[in-house]
Structure formats: structure tokens, C-alpha cells
Structure 1
Amino acid sequence: MKICIDPGHPSEVGEGTRGKKLTEMRAAWLVAKRLEVLLKAAGHEVKLTKSSEKEFVKNRKRAEIANAFQANLLVRLHCDSEGGTGFWTYFPDRQGTDSTGKRGPSAEIITACKQRAPKFHAALAVGLKGTLRDNGCLSDTRTAVGSKQGALTGSIWSQVPVVLVEMCVLSNAKDEAFLLSEAGQDQMAKALAAGVRAVG
């Protein structure tokens, strides 16, 4: 399969959230690079949306990179900042409209996301069981941006199946400690790779 990995931020919405020691940008990049190695070792073609940790890429461009690559799945990596703990998977279950008036994704992509996201999340949850709380596989509309637009901007522009993973809550000390550790990064990458396998 062709897998596009999108380490979130910096983008037009900022550099992302941060904990006391770890930034969302850093966490997403470290996990993305580990995931890239695992997926290539498993025989997948892999494309990252960034060539360096601090490269600025707009959310529309991130989707366009996955589209041009003709990815079988776009995996977007983020960390949350709100209260609570644990991880989530989000996916588009309806069309949205962004600030430019662009509507998307297509009905075909929405159907594919509805089929693949729950399988991806179930495998991810098995891989993270006992370490982080499973907060479920939810619609993009449950996010701040998605609730206003109907879908996340990266989903609206995506012409390939897409999931967004909030890997942890960086404002939670235990969550941050988990993703700050090499063992935690490794476990997260392996769990994400299992998610990819589950939709293959």
C-alpha cells in the first residue's frame, strides 16, 4: 500500500500545542519518522508531508501531497491540548466547506473513511491498551474546526481516505511522559502501523 504520513504543524493554524517539555510538532515528527521505518520495513511505499520537523506546510497542501502520491491512506498525527487523557481517531463522515468555499471530501472518500477508520482505530487501541485511554473513533465534526466546517480542512481537500490521530493530551503529565519516552514513541508507532495493517 501507499501510505502518506502527515506530522501535524506548523501550519496556518500555528505550531500546535505543547506540554511542559514536549511540543506537538516534535511529538508528531518523532512518531512519524519511527512509523515511516516500520511501514517501509513491511513493504509499504511511504511519503511524508514534510521533509523536516519545522517545515511550514498548510493543511490544504498536506492533503494535496497525499493526493498526488495517490495514497491508500493518509494518516495525520497530532496531540490534543484540552483537558483529559488518551487518544482519539477522527475521520470525515460528511462533506464540509472550508473558508475558501471548497466542499469535500467526495461521497466515495467518505464511504471509504467510514469503512477504514473504525478498523484502523480498533488496531491502534489494541496496540496502546494499558498505556493510554481509548477515547474512540469519532467524526471530524467532534473537533473544534470540524464542528464549524463540517469536516477538517485536511479532510475537505483529501481525495484519498484519511484519518487524524490525536495521540495524547500534552497538558496531561502522564500522557506527555509517555510520548516523551523512546519506549512510548516506539509503542505509538507500532500501534499506528497495526492500524495501517488493519485497513490493508
Structure 2
Amino acid sequence: MSRALLILLLLLGSLGRAQTVCIDPGHPSEVGEGTRGKRITEMKAAWKVALLLKAKLEAKGVKVVLTKQTEKQYVKNRDRAATANKANADLMVRLHCDSAGGSGFATYYPAKQGTAQGRTGPSDEVLAMSRAAAKVFHAKLAAGLKGALRNNGLKTDMQTKVGAQNGGALIGSIFSEVPVVLVEMCVLTNDSDDRFMSSAEGQDRFAQALCDATLAAIKK
């Protein structure tokens, strides 16, 4: 088989492949069960939004894999990354809620390698792909949530406590072999954010914004 024909066949095969997204509803993991507001826990908020996002993406023809099968299933962060890797996901979307001061949402991505559990990562290729995806992703996410929640911007893993402790990347990023972003959907210790995220309307709006952001990032 000629080299030109082989390249053509590979291109045709990639065009026909359904795009895959890995959704990672945060917690419980080795870092605990997450934060909580007065009305909803981080674990429940991430799970509910993840299921809504899954349905919306599948309706657009995207193959979706989840890193856990029940809300309270314990999965280590390195195993969450392994699920995305095994699926050869076009993007891994990690869902969390914050408990810091202030309010609003933010998107995080690995801008440099970190080291944890004997591994240094992610690769330079994953860093570059994550950066490119995150820029498109956050712009679309912000547009979808305008007027609903405060936009805290696009940030890097290094700007998180755990990421800084690891030298630059979160554990889920370190073990990821695919582009990865993490969304802090709101600050649950803020009463307004908690009220938004605990409502069916708020959850659906956030899931729709995530869907639009994900589709833009994978160019679906």
C-alpha cells in the first residue's frame, strides 16, 4: 500500500469516528467528598449537571463516557484520568464547585507539568492541546452564563492549592493523556451561587453552557 493511500485511509477513518467526551463529576476521591452549600453538596451538583450534559452531548451525536456510574462512587483522580485515556477522549471535562470567598465560575487547565504519585505530567502535547481547548471552551461557557453567575476567568492548575503543591498541575491533569479542563461551576458557600446551582433551572442552564462550550472546543 502506498504511503499516500495509507494517509488518506487514516484521514477518512478519523473523519468517520464519533467524537468522544469524558465527563468527570468531581468527588468522592482521595481528596475527600468536596464542599457543600446550604441547599446542595458539590458531589450532587456535579453529578446532576454531568447527567444533563451527557444527555445534551449525546443528542448532538457525541459519544460520552463518565468517570463514575453513581453519585457517591469513590474514584481516585488518577483512575478518572485513566477512564478518559482509555476512551481516547477528545476532551475531558471535570466538574467541581468551589468553597473559596467570592462567587462565580472559572475554567482551569494545565499550563505546566506537575508531579504526583511518582508521575510527572501531562506531556507537552497534552499541555498545548489543553491550553487551546480551554481558551475556546471558557469563552463559550462565559457567553452561556452571562448574567447568571460571575465570570472569574480562565485560570491554570497552578492557581489551585493542589496544583501548586504538585508543582503546576492537578492529579487528574498529571495522569491525563488527552486534553483536559476543570470547571469550578460556582462557589457553594456563596448563598446566591448555592441557590442557582441547587435549582433545576440553574443546573440545566449550566449544563447547556457546558454543552455549547464542549462542542466549540472539539469543533463539533
Q: Which residue of 2 aligns with 1:127?
A: 144
From 39, 61, 78, the counterpart of 1:60: 78
Gaps of 5+ in 2: 1-18
Q: CA deviation at 1:101?
A: 2.1
**In the alignment, which residue of structure 1 is the partner of 2:126?**
109
Match for 2:115 among 97, 105, 121? Answer: 97
Which of 4, 14, 23 does residue 41 from structure 2 map onto? Answer: 23
- Match status 1:138 vs 2:181: no
Q: Report the CA distance between 1:43 and its aligned residue.
A: 0.3
Q: Which one has a bigger Cα radius of gyration?
A: 2
State the AA in 1 paired with 2:134: A
Alignment partner of 1:186 is 2:178: no
Q: TM-score, normalised by structure 2?
A: 0.90
Is 2:98 aligned against 1:80? yes
Match of 1:197 in 2: 215
Letter in 1 for 2:216: A
- 1:34-62 per-residue CA deviation (whole Å, 9 max, x = no partner) reads 00000000000000001000000000000
The residue aligned with 2:194 is 176
Q: CA deviation at 1:198?
A: 1.1
For residues 162 and 140 of structure 2, the distance between their equivalents in structure 1, rounded to whole angstroms, comes to 26
**Structure 2 counterpart of 1:10, which letter?**
P
RMSD: 0.5
Unaligned runs of 5+ in 1: none
1:155 paired with 2:173, answer yes
Q: Per-residue displacement from partner, 1:16-46 (whole Å, max 9, x unpaired)?
A: 0001121000000000000000000000000
SS across alignment from 2:36: coil
Identity %: 57
What amino acid sits opposite 1:183 in the alignment? E
Query: After the TM superposition, which parts of structure 1 deviate over 2 Å for at least 4 consecutive aligned residues?
Result: none
- What's the CA shift string for 1:95-152, capped at 9, x where partnerless? 1001x22000000000001111010000000000001000011110000100111100
